[in-house]
Every structure is written in C-alpha cells, then in structure tokens.
Amino acid sequence: MKRFWVCGAVLLALCALPRQIQPQEANDESALEARTPEQVVAHHLAVFRAHDLEGVLSDYADDAIFIAPKSTVQGKTALRKMFASFFANANANAAAPVFDATVTADGEVGYEHWVSDPGKPGSMAGTDAFVVRHGRIVFHTAVEIHPVAPGQ
C-alpha cells in the first residue's frame, strides 16, 4: 500500500504546472523527435493534468523505464496500466493536492522540481528526472521525495 502512495505522490507531482501549456498534436513524428527535454516534460505535465492517457503515453519511448522509490515499470503496456490506474483513482478523489513546480533541463535530461500542498502539514517535495532522446522519454525516475516542514 505504501508503494501505491509513493507512486501516487510522484504521479500527482506531474500535475504541477499551469494548464496554459497546450498538448502538442502527436501526428507530426519529425516535430515530436525535435522536441527538447524541457518541451517534452512540459507537454507531459500538460497532458497528465488533463488526464489524457494517450497524450501521456505519446511522450514515452516504446521501451521506456519509469522507476519510483518502490516500483519499476517498463514498456508502454505497463505504463498504460500504471497511468490508467492512477487517473481512475485521482478521478475518484475529490480532494487532490495542490502542486507548485518548476521544469528545467540540462542536456538530454529534463527535471521537474515540485512541492505538494505548499505550507500545509504533510507537504512533500521532490524532483523527477526524465532522460529524453529523439523527443521521447526513455527513462523517468523520482530522484528525491521528502517531507517539507510547515512554513518552508
């Protein structure tokens, strides 16, 4: 059960950016391959927030690996199952946490630095890293997740 909550916290962190980022059309393969890591992560967050399962999956390579603190998922079939389950649970939860996030990049790595429910008891912070090649996420991991003291 703890594994589900940790994966859930990582996935909820993806909801962190404002909704102004519009999902990119997945029809133009050459345009997708030309995206920078920062563009891929920003698109990924936008479609994740919209609970667009196909949009989320379009950002991953077919053999992508997602590593959370207590679980590993590899390939689009497993990613589809994980995200579909998360979206189903998130839709059933009326009190979703609020997130602040920043997206940065360094070379082929995009980062999402996030804080859930900032300033409130139980707030968590973390960083996700996304290795992006040819406009697709090939590796995604939660680099760190830790509690934040109220007022920080």
Give the residue with greater pLDDT, 35 vs 20. Answer: 35
Q: Can you say how many angstroms the Cα of residue 42 is from the centroid of all Cα atoms in its chain?
A: 9
**Contact in structure between 34 and 118 (CB atoms under 8 Å):** no
User: How is residue 93 written in tokens?
Assistant: 């939860």
pTM over 0.85: no
Residues 49-108 have pLDDT tens digits of: 788 999 999 999 999 999 988 889 999 999 999 999 988 887 666 555 667 889 999 999
Burial of 67 (0-12, 13-18, 19+ CB in 10 A): middle
Residue ranges and CATH numbers for the domains of the chain are 2-147 (3.10.450.50)
Residues 123-137 have pLDDT tens digits of: 899 999 999 999 999
- Give SS3 for 132: strand
